[in-house]
């Protein structure tokens, strides 16, 4: 994981399960379409977990 704010998650990669992020181009498309600027940390989240968050939000 190459994220600045979410780097602590690298210690938990084995517990996170299947995760899949979205591409930078998809984030740019969202920002352009809705005329917004997403916060950097949220962009990092989307890059790591935008399509599949694995067990990140699991209560187990």
Position 20 pLDDT exceeds 70: yes
pLDDT of residue 1 exceeding 60: no
Mean pLDDT of 15-24: 84
Cβ-defined contacts of 38-46 (< 8 Å, 24+): 40/4, 40/5, 41/5, 41/6, 44/3, 44/4, 44/5, 44/6, 45/6, 46/21, 46/22
Whole-number pLDDT of residue 15: 76
Once rounded to an integer, what is the mean pLDDT over residues 34-59?
83
- Strongest mean pLDDT among 5-9, 18-22, 32-36, 56-60: 32-36
């Amino acid at each position: 994981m190459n994220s600045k704010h979410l780097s602590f998650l690298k210690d938990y990669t084995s517990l996170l399960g299947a995760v899949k992020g979205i591409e930078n181009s998809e984030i740019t498309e969202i920002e352009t379409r809705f005329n917004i600027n997403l916060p950097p940390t949220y962009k990092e989240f989307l890059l790591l977990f935008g399509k599949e968050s694995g067990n990140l939000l699991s209560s187990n």
